[in-house]
Amino acid sequence: MGGPVIETDGLVKRYNGVTALDEVSFSVGAGEAFALVGPNGAGKTTLLRLLTHILTPDAGTVRLFGEERLRKVLGRVGYMPEERGLYKSLTPMECVTYFARLKGLGVEAAARGAQAALEAVGMLGHARRRMEELSKGMAQRVQLAATIAHGPDLLILDEPFSGLDPVSARAMQEQIRRLRAEGRTVLLSTHNMEHAEKLCDRLLMVYRGRACLYGSLSEIRARFADKALLVECAGPVPPTATARMETDGERRARLYPQDGMGRRDVLLALLAAGADVLRFEPSEPTLEEIFVRVAGAEAAEAIRATHAADEAASG
């Protein structure tokens, strides 16, 4: 498999004396789907711009495919920025062909790549319409086609779900899964941690320009597991002496076993108390819950603000 496709060491970036990235190091292996997560303003886009040589670091190094001279390998990279750059007066076929030409493909190769990419994202049937006639979800798929038309080995996707309705977001998820199944390396930047959980195996979590978590999802969840049990009943969840209870509505609760009590003890106590148990299973913390634990109370407010911005954009 060779070395890492992406490797950074101690990246620092400052704007007018303000540190946007502070000593960030991570790597992404070939064929991996890797998530860069954090709320809006965490430093994710700055990091992606360093990877794609749009910006240069104030300190630290970036290597793509083992190469520090990034211009030599940028032809192997497909970058989908958060700020979309499709020309509304053109058709999807014209847009995607144009971007493939910018990546160095000849006229015929660019046209073939555009056609194949539009077919792959389900937009070939709309290839002759004007971009201004397309919905936001359709335009997003065209943007993805423009990112993959030249056949890149590495895809860098910055907030690909931004502003999408749930149906379009699910379609984008399927496209990302397909690209990974083809063997491409995918770096997904997102503030929606649910998308990261569904699509990626490893992640780097950033907040205020610093890395606060790095590793596989399974390792991170295991590290922050609190032995809670998720319980759902047909009626109210009864309290028991075997566990501390945090209710989540009348019929759902998280139970934290008391010292010396196991899952079986808790379940038997619930049944003895007359509970009609519908669901009883370990409760793993979500990435969002883990992020708030790591980054603190201010991070929770940043997450709420990000969610509010999402609702406004998709509404």
Q: What is the pLDDT of residues 243-257, one digit of tens each?
A: 999 888 889 998 999
Residue 55: predicted pLDDT: 93
pLDDT at residue 271 tops 70: yes
Please list, residue by residue across 278-299, b when 16 or more beta carbons sit within 10 angstroms of its beta carbon and e when fewer do.
eebeebbbebbebbbeebeeeb
pLDDT at residue 298 tops 80: no
Helix (H, G, I), strand (E, B) or coil at 251: coil
pLDDT digits (tens, 9 = 90+) for 94-115: 999 999 999 999 999 999 999 9
How many angstroms separate the CA atoms of 63 and 72, rounded? 11
**Distance, CA of 203 to chain centre:** 8
Residue 1: predicted pLDDT: 46
pLDDT at residue 130 tops 80: yes
**Residues near 136 by Cβ (< 8 Å), separated by ≥ 6?**
163, 164, 165, 168
- Residue 209's nearest CA partner among 13, 8, 21 is 21
Give 226 or 208, the one with higher predicted confidence: 208
Domains of the chain are 6-222 (3.40.50.300), 226-282 (3.30.70)
DSSP string over 149-211: TT--SEEEEESTTTT--HHHHHHHHHHHHHHHHTT-EEEEEES-HHHHHHH-SEEEEEETTEE
The pLDDT mean for the chain works out to 90
In angstroms, how far is the first alpha carbon of the chain from the final one?
Answer: 44
Q: Provide φ and ψ at 237, rounded to 5°.
A: -80, 120
Helix (H, G, I), strand (E, B) or coil at 289: helix
Work out the average pLDDT over 234-247.
Answer: 92
Could you give the percent of the chain with pLDDT greater than 70? 95
**Distance, CA of 49 to chain centre:** 16
CA distances from 140 to 75, 83, 180, 290, 309 (A): 22, 11, 18, 30, 18
Residue 45: predicted pLDDT: 92
Q: Identify whether the C-beta of residue 187 lies closer than 8 Å to the C-beta of residue 204.
A: no
